[in-house]
Amino acid sequence: MPQYFKSPGKVFYVAPSDNPDCMCSDCNFMKLNSLEKIYNCLKDETNEIILDTELSEKAHKPIQRMLEISENLGL
């Protein structure tokens, strides 16, 4: 069962996308993350993912956008 079904009162806000054909901002895989899973990864230093520089630079843009959206919403 996906993690988000365990919190029926949780509200997910879908970030707007520059591409109407892409639902990356409403990703079912991202919804499987939880604070507990993130905490355990950081604590145990497990599940390390190593990206090459080019891909890492491309990944920075959507992460920065999410942070800007959160800041604009006062979250």
d(CA 19, CA 60): 17
pLDDT at 6: 62
> Which pLDDT does position 9 carry in this prediction?
77
Mean pLDDT score, 58-63: 90
pLDDT in tens, 13-51: 777 777 777 766 677 777 788 889 989 999 999 988 888
Planar angle of CA 12, 67, 32, nearest 5 degrees: 40
Given a cut of 60, whether residue 2 has pLDDT beyond it is: no
Q: Could you tell me which residues come within 8 angstroms of residue 15 by beta carbon, excluding any fewer than 6 positions away? A: 25, 65, 66, 69
- Taking the C-alpha atoms of residue 28 and residue 30, their distance in angstroms, rounded to an integer, is 5
Domain ranges of the chain: 50-75
- Among 17, 34, 37, CA closest to 26: 17
